[in-house]
Structure 1
Amino acid sequence: MARVMIVDDSPTDVHNIKSILTKAGHAVLEASSGQDALDRIKSERPDAVIMDVVMPGVNGFQATRMLSKDPSTANIPIVVISSKNQESDRMWALRQGAKEYVTKPIKESDLLGKLSQALGGK
């Protein structure tokens, strides 16, 4: 399946998302911050990124924008996950370059469905 990088500063959320992804057959990489993800995505070249929004330092919106504007990473689909469930938050994430948006608490079917859509049905 796909190599997916989870970017989240919550060990609990990383554990839960990793469990969902590995059960579905995906290989999982982890980054604990937006800056960590920016530093590693160019070298790790994941097939997709699951990006939390609220993180210290470089937040998920900022990291998504930077990745989507960089020609070397612009083709890596990003699924933003957030506890922010307002339509304006979803629209802002999409304007930053995210392909999909999932709200917390994460439902397995929602995450896998949105990831599949972001990957183009892979």
Structure 2
Amino acid sequence: MSTKTILVVDDSKTDFLYVKNILDHGGYKVAYAPSGADGIQMSKDLKPDLILMDVVMPEMNGFQATRAISRELETADIPILMLSSKSQQTDKVWAERQGATDYLVKPANPKLLLSKIKSLLN
């Protein structure tokens, strides 16, 4: 079984390191994009197995980046799990409309995060 690659798109280095630690323990390869625009570019270059997308980022937010990735032919089949401090139902519905596969509120419970990733990758 090959190691799955997960692209984490988050402008917060602290949040990234928290998630990276969880993913490392889960046995995943982790790539990092510090912005929505970088996330779009890296999703094309890297073709990760899954993307963890923050919502609140400067210049381009996670909703915009998710929309771009999910509507691009070469990246449309990559599952996107939104990971955000925004916990309103409207945020979750909007994320889905932009093409997100699932939604978790930060800080993510490590067991829940890994089980969601596992189910999205199967």
TM-score range, shorter chain: over 0.9
Q: What is the aligned length?
A: 120
- State whether structure 2 residue 94 is matched by structure 1 residue 107: no
Q: 2:108 is paired with a residue of what secondary structure? A: coil
Match 2:54 to one of 52, 55, 79: 52
Q: How does 1:74-113 map to 2 (within 5 A)?
A: 74-113=76-115
**Partner secondary structure for residue 30 of structure 2:** strand
TM (normalized to structure 1)? 0.95
Number of the residue aligned with 2:73: 71
Normalising by structure 2, report the TM-score. Answer: 0.95
SS at match of 1:13: helix
- Percent pairwise identity: 46
Aligned mates of 1:115, 1:62 — CA distance in 2 = 22
RMSD: 0.8
Q: Does 1:12 align with 2:8?
A: no
Q: Which blocks of at least 5 consecutive residues in structure 1 are unaligned? A: none
Question: How far apart are 1:114 and its partner, in Å?
Answer: 1.6
How far off is 1:49 after superposition?
A: 0.3
Supply the distance in 2 between the matched residues of 1:116 and 1:91 (Cα, whole angstroms): 22
Structure 1 runs of 4+ aligned residues shifted over 4 Å read none
Cα separation, 2, equivalents of 1:114 and 1:80: 11
CA distances 1:94-121 after superposition (whole Å, capped 9, x unpaired): 111111100012110121122122212x
